[in-house]
Structure 1
Amino acid sequence: MEHDSRKHHHENGTSHEEHESSHSHEQSNNGHTGHDHHGDMVTEFRNKFFIILIVTVPIMLLSPMIQEFMGVEWRFTGDLYILAALSTFVYFYGGWPFLKGAVDELKGGEPGMMTLIGMAISIAFFYSVAVVFGFDGEQIFWELATLVLIMLLGHWIEMRSINNASKALESLASLMPDTAHRISGDGSTDEVRVDEIKAGDHVLVKPGDKMPLDGKIIKGESQVDESMLTGESVPVVKSVGDEVIGGSINREGSLTVEIEKLMDASYLNQVIEMVKDSQKTKSRTQDVTNKAAKWLFYIALAAGIITFIVWLAIGSTVDTAIQRMVTVMVITCPHALGLAAPLVISVSTALSAKHGLLIRNRPQFEQARNINAVIFDKTGTLTEGAFGVTDMETFSSMDEDAVLSYAATVENDSEHPIATGIVDEASARNLELHEMSDFNSITGVGIEGKIEGRNVKVVSPGYVAEHDINFDDARFNEWSRQGKTVVFLVVDEELSGAIALADKIKESAKETVAELHKRNIKAIMLTGDNRKVADHVAEQIGIDEVYAEVLPDQKADKVAEIQERGLVVAMTGDGINDAPALTRADVGIAVGAGTDIAMDSADIVLVDSNPKDILAIFSLSKKTYNKLVQNLIWATGYNIFAIPLAAGVLAPWGIILSPAVGAILMSLSTIIVAINAQLLHRFEVE
């Protein structure tokens, strides 16, 4: 294995829901007019909010009830007509998203949140207009204005949270270069803007340049740094026929790339679209909310009519019966219920983005709070995917630092992971490199050069065996058993030292597993790597169970096997060979947004390839669920209590709620729910 690894090193290192339903969902839940741009909605609701806020101030000051509450009297001739005119503007301009949403819901035969809100503001408006023109009662224009204002604020907050989460990812688009070198039919190159490139065009990507768009290499070989896109820290060797991602960096060697995907279909754009789509996935709690709103509409309608009939039946005037009915209708307006889930979800979305989590399927995110086993893929998830020096041995008078310094000098020109690991270790030890001459690559075996007149080689175990160089191989055999890659330093044909390298274990992996154990969650490793490497990694990290040498098509079966033991399972992997397993798990988590398949198969994507972020998923899922439940209990409990009170069941004892008091209670309920949702911002990973 080591010989092959070394051969590869030097052969390659020589040159060193559907569109329409999502719209209807947005309309039914947010009263939107079908726009698919959160930015437009943010602007629309913000502008409406501030305009209505300005108009609400004179409405409040002109309202006799508010004046009475403040102990002042600012009445003048025609004041109520001015009040009515301002309120008409509020009703039609500020209330338009809700009225439009109500019409859409009723057309679809699914009355819900928008219908309830539309009904409440319409009753408040027309009742108040009737009072101005002679009906016996108290106008509640101020209640209409505050009601519309609160709803606009709620929707603005929600849209802004979602938009900010999307913007955080759209910043990825800045990774894309503005220009590219397009190759003409005669072989010459022209610098053109990226948006002028068409699918099928050939572009030249020089060393140090970024790939302009997604495509396939048709000429050349190089190492490509995709770390900004995939979280994969090791540059990937790419040659003819390999795919490249727009925005990745060409490290060495010129490449000719045939463009396959334009910006709209590119990997980066898919990440952005994925985030936008994730905002539209309805959670189970949202479904409960929508059903509750539908039933609340029917209850409000029935309660209002029954209240009106009963008050007339007991001998009240029509005016009194209408007042009771209006109070019931206004107090049933489900602002608290309407904001219970969206506000928590919007805060949760913003927090998720802040913690590097992209939530694709919200029901699975909510399920994450019940996880009691986490299955990890090894490479790139628990390990860095980058070689690091783990052990060293000397066979001559040279000490470890001297061996490392010589090896790093020879390897310094190579970009290969083994070379990078040795050079990084020398750098970490602050070792100075030497002057070198006569650099030469020994095909399939190693590299050599002259340092201070001495011939220095860094070679594979195969070279040592071939040249019958004898040494105490006890430690070498132990390293091999652990699956480590070993290279030897030979100075003037004398064996001077051995360096063992292995894929570095992420420090965060140990901390993550320790934390999972504190929460009584099992840590299981599922890898295609060989048993000795897997066991060695598992032992160092503290993994409970290891399944090694598992083929990609067997991984999903292993997940099912573990689930059959009664465990609720989260699967974490890079999403390529893990795709079936990610789909089979109760919660699929892609570590590093690396591929189309990762996005298609995972429920949650960790933007940073940090396994510790899994803890944030569990904590945030639990906190979000608790907040949703608290808000739903408060909102529905409020309505259960308020409707009979508004209907006048306590009238025999002299307790009667006016429409205005009903409006105050409704507003108070909304504020409590909104504040409770915002408290989620105090979330910290436990």
Structure 2
Amino acid sequence: MKLSNIQRFWISFVLAIPMLIQMLAMPFHWMMPGYNWIALITTTIIMAISALPYWKSAIAAFKKHSANMNTLVATGTAVAYFYSIFAMMTGRAVYFESAAFVTVFVLLGDAMEEKMHNNASSALGKLMGLQAKDAEVLRDGKFVKVPLDQVQVGDLIHVKPGEKVPVDGKILEGITSLDESMVTGESIPVMKKAGDTVIGSTINGNGTITFKATKVGTDTMLAQIVDLVKKAQTSHAPIQNLTDKISNIFVPVVMIVAIITFVVWYSFIGATFVQALLFAVSVIVIACPCALGLATPTALMVGTARSAKMGVLIKNGEVLQEVSDIDTVVFDKTGTITVGKPVVTDIVGDPTRVLTIAASLEESSEHPLAAAILDEAQAKEISPVKVDQFEAIEGKGVRANYNNQIAFVGSNRLLVDVNISQEMITRAKQLQKEAKTVVYVGLDKKIIGLVAIQDVPKTSSKEAITELKNRGLMTVMLTGDNERVAHAIADEVGIDKVIAEVMPNDKAQQIKKLQDKGRKVAFVGDGINDAPALSTADVGIAMGSGTDIAIDSGGIVLVQNDLRGVVRALDISKKTFNRIKLNLFWALIYNVVGIPIAAGLFAFVGFTLSPELAGLAMAFSSVSVVSSSLLLNNAKIAGEDTVQEPIK
């Protein structure tokens, strides 16, 4: 049975506990009874179960005349382990703990990475879980429920209020509103009638429809999005780990120095075999990659814990490296830059009178914009008045008897034979230029007021985008909304460039076009339609208020629904990555300084480094790395003082 990195880590950690106890007891001059034999047995099991994959990888790299992090791990653990057996048999100090803890520390980083990959791989399953399980299809003159995989192109499908649309198609009969937010990301339900298209997995609103299936199985939009996410995840080039780059040079140098040390002392200086071997072993022990194994995971643990307190979840170390090169930040509009919910922005006319009439009529309406008017009335403590003879006028609005007068609320299609002042016409056009939906409120064949409704930007959006631009980053809005609405929102918050009217399955392609121009792109989104773009971008930043698939596809998740988190995410990611690079420096500096001493270069002046002192220097480099990582807790992050307690 093949063990996972997580399982191998816990096995190694538990087996290394006796050695940890002994290390902690050393300052008190206490020796565990039978310690050498205990260390030999536990370390042997660790080598056989947990370190073996590293040894296999090192051998494979050696056959290709190269070296990587696994070469360093295998070399360090093998030398420490086999020398300790020799030392144990000759009554010398053993270094089993070096072999054991190098394995534990390196596996800790691998276990963290594996867990993140497991979380990401569940994204595709969640996507497919959005599909309806069956469909009501016309068979032999009547509608019957059949499993989804039995639906064919051309089938007539019946969908009742509240049900999921099973596949893509075109409406033949009925009028309804569809909640397409789970696929398109747009929060306002879309009115649909005969001739309009429907998307599989969206939710039917208040009407009953019959439509003809046009795409089924792998051809549906949802299946195409799944395919895009899968391709983006598998085609994303793996980042060459800094430790591998260091190892490729460091390992051969250390091995050559160790061999030269042994040969020089034994063949030319006249030292005994054991003395020459001790010098060589000291070189390899001080070069043991314990601190290198700590450099990345400790910085990640401190950095990610710090960022989590600020509502920023960093999923893996690759993200940190990519963030350092980001020069472009692309935003989805709805739910990311904007609130994601339509609200009343302007009332023209007597506010109380206009809102009272509008709320009274909309209370009986099922139109998607009615909720915005009712919410505004509730906020202003205006209670709707009971109306009678209520009537919904298809595609225009609603009409009812209000205090013995005919009142109406709706679109400009209601303006036939209605008296409207030039001032109202001018104000309506002005509001429409601002990309707001205008609702006309009339009483007794006269327009008495206007209600403007819009999905407004979040209060934090403009500030966040300004901060990003101050850092020299280009900002882009990528949305499926129309040009006018997109540019109105972009102008309000200060976005540099707008790419509008983009189909959900084309968003990833737009990201790819920017990358082909040499841009390093971070994408910020929250909807299912954003998942391919989040996976394709160099760095995907998902809003925590978004869908599960968006969150799983992003390398960084903002727990709070606040765009200032993007600034904090980029800042903490860069500082964490820079700390990893600093840790790698500290992990190596003691080795570089200590190797000449360990090799006996200063032995003629009485200054040597025994294997015991080499092990101490190695341990000290680990302490330096841990201390360096802990300093991340004191790093200054922009806007940290504005962070609220993250959502539980």
Question: Could you tell me the TM-score, scaled by structure 1's length?
Answer: 0.73
Counterpart of 1:602, as a letter, is A
Give a deviation string over 1:534-571, Cα, whole Å, max 9, x none: 77646643x286x67x7779xxxxxxxxxxxxxxxxxx
Give a deviation string over 1:471-510, Cα, whole Å, max 9, x none: 5345345434434433322212233222233342222222
Q: Which residue of 83, 90, 103 corresponds with 2:46?
A: 90
Q: Which residue of 272, 276, 292 corresponds with 1:321?
A: 276
Indicate the residue corresponding to 2:13 in structure 1.
49
Q: Which residue of 242, 251, 268 corresponds with 2:205?
A: 251
Aligned pairs (5 A) from 1:255-274: 259-261=216-218, 266=223
- Deviation of the 1:268 alpha carbon: 8.4
- SS of the equivalent of 2:415 reads helix
- Deviation of the 1:296 alpha carbon: 1.2
- SS of the equivalent of 1:450 reads strand
Matched, 1:504 2:467: no
- Deviation of the 1:522 alpha carbon: 6.7
Counterpart of 1:365, as a letter, is V
Q: Which residue of 492, 512, 521 corresponds with 1:587?
A: 521
- Deviation of the 1:300 alpha carbon: 1.2
Indicate the residue corresponding to 2:385 in structure 1.
434
Cα distance change of structure 1 residues 654 and 250 upon mapping to structure 2, 3 Å threshold:
farther
Indicate the residue corresponding to 1:355 in structure 2.
312
Give a deviation string over 1:343-381, Cα, whole Å, max 9, x none: 54677678889636778976542212xx4x757676665
- Deviation of the 1:308 alpha carbon: 0.6
Counterpart of 2:96, as a letter, is F
Matched-pair identity in % = 28
Cα distance change of structure 1 residues 579 and 624 upon mapping to structure 2, 3 Å threshold:
same
Q: Return the alpha-carbon distance in structure 2 between the equivalents of residues 75 and 379 of structure 1.
A: 66
Aligned pairs (5 A) from 1:378-527: 382-384=337-339, 386-394=341-349, 399-461=350-412, 463-464=414-415, 467-473=418-424, 474-516=426-468, 519=471
- SS of the equivalent of 2:385 reads coil
Counterpart of 1:428, as a letter, is A
Counterpart of 2:378, as a letter, is S
Q: Which residue of 345, 354, 367 corresponds with 2:325?
A: 367
Counterpart of 1:139, as a letter, is V
Cα distance change of structure 1 residues 386 and 662 upon mapping to structure 2, 3 Å threshold:
same
Contact 1:405–1:432 (Cα < 8 Å) also in 2: yes
Contact 1:56–1:142 (Cα < 8 Å) also in 2: yes
Contact 2:152–2:216 (Cα < 8 Å) also in 1: yes
Contact 2:399–2:406 (Cα < 8 Å) also in 1: yes
Q: Return the alpha-carbon distance in structure 2 between the equivalents of residues 598 and 126 of structure 1.
A: 50
- SS of the equivalent of 1:224 reads strand
Give a deviation string over 1:118-159, Cα, whole Å, max 9, x none: 12222222222223444x743333433333333344443454
Unmatched 5+ stretches in structure 1: 1-31, 554-572
Give a deviation string over 1:55-99, Cα, whole Å, max 9, x none: 5468x49xxxx98764346777xx756654444333323422322
Q: Return the alpha-carbon distance in structure 2 between the equivalents of residues 362 and 281 of structure 1.
A: 15
Q: Which residue of 600, 616, 619 corresponds with 1:648?
A: 600
Matched, 1:126 2:82: yes
Cα distance change of structure 1 residues 54 and 221 upon mapping to structure 2, 3 Å threshold:
farther
- Deviation of the 1:216 alpha carbon: 4.6
Indicate the residue corresponding to 2:609 in structure 1.
657
Q: Return the alpha-carbon distance in structure 2 between the equivalents of residues 232 and 530 of structure 1.
A: 12
Give a deviation string over 1:140-188, Cα, whole Å, max 9, x none: 334333333333444434544x258649968956974895456474445
- Deviation of the 1:659 alpha carbon: 2.0
Counterpart of 1:607, as a letter, is A
Contact 1:233–1:384 (Cα < 8 Å) also in 2: no
Indicate the residue corresponding to 1:150 in structure 2.
105
Counterpart of 1:300, as a letter, is V
Q: Return the alpha-carbon distance in structure 1 between the equivalents of residues 38 and 313 of structure 2.
A: 52
Q: Return the alpha-carbon distance in structure 1 between the equivalents of residues 631 and 89 of structure 2.
A: 45
Contact 1:575–1:597 (Cα < 8 Å) also in 2: yes
Matched, 1:670 2:628: no
- Deviation of the 1:323 alpha carbon: 0.8
Contact 1:283–1:362 (Cα < 8 Å) also in 2: no
Q: Return the alpha-carbon distance in structure 1 between the equivalents of residues 100 and 479 of structure 2.
A: 61
Q: Which residue of 140, 144, 150 corresponds with 1:189?
A: 144
Unmatched 5+ stretches in structure 2: 547-561, 640-648
Contact 2:131–2:200 (Cα < 8 Å) also in 1: no
- SS of the equivalent of 2:325 reads helix
- Deviation of the 1:320 alpha carbon: 0.5
Cα distance change of structure 1 residues 350 and 230 upon mapping to structure 2, 3 Å threshold:
farther
- Deviation of the 1:316 alpha carbon: 1.1
Cα distance change of structure 1 residues 638 and 406 upon mapping to structure 2, 3 Å threshold:
same
More off after superposition, 214-223 vs 299-308: 214-223
Contact 2:54–2:74 (Cα < 8 Å) also in 1: yes
- SS of the equivalent of 2:540 reads strand
Indicate the residue corresponding to 2:289 in structure 1.
334
Contact 2:175–2:208 (Cα < 8 Å) also in 1: yes
Cα distance change of structure 1 residues 260 and 253 upon mapping to structure 2, 3 Å threshold:
farther
Contact 2:16–2:42 (Cα < 8 Å) also in 1: no
Q: Return the alpha-carbon distance in structure 1 between the equivalents of residues 397 and 26 of structure 2.
A: 92
Counterpart of 2:520, as a letter, is D
Matched, 1:104 2:63: no
- SS of the equivalent of 1:504 reads coil
- Deviation of the 1:321 alpha carbon: 0.5
Q: Return the alpha-carbon distance in structure 1 between the equivalents of residues 432 and 448 of structure 2.
A: 19
- SS of the equivalent of 1:367 reads coil
- SS of the equivalent of 1:233 reads coil
Q: Return the alpha-carbon distance in structure 2 between the equivalents of residues 526 and 262 of structure 1.
A: 24
Q: Return the alpha-carbon distance in structure 2 between the equivalents of residues 165 and 641 of structure 1.
A: 42
Cα distance change of structure 1 residues 90 and 226 upon mapping to structure 2, 3 Å threshold:
same
Contact 1:102–1:115 (Cα < 8 Å) also in 2: yes
- SS of the equivalent of 2:507 reads coil
- SS of the equivalent of 1:490 reads strand
Cα distance change of structure 1 residues 358 and 54 upon mapping to structure 2, 3 Å threshold:
closer
Contact 1:263–1:269 (Cα < 8 Å) also in 2: no
* RMSD (CA atoms): 4.5
Contact 1:327–1:646 (Cα < 8 Å) also in 2: yes
- Deviation of the 1:190 alpha carbon: 4.2
- SS of the equivalent of 2:205 reads strand
Give a deviation string over 1:253-301, Cα, whole Å, max 9, x none: 34566642499985786798689769x85436x2x42121011111111
- SS of the equivalent of 2:55 reads helix
Q: Return the alpha-carbon distance in structure 1 between the equivalents of residues 256 and 589 of structure 2.
A: 18
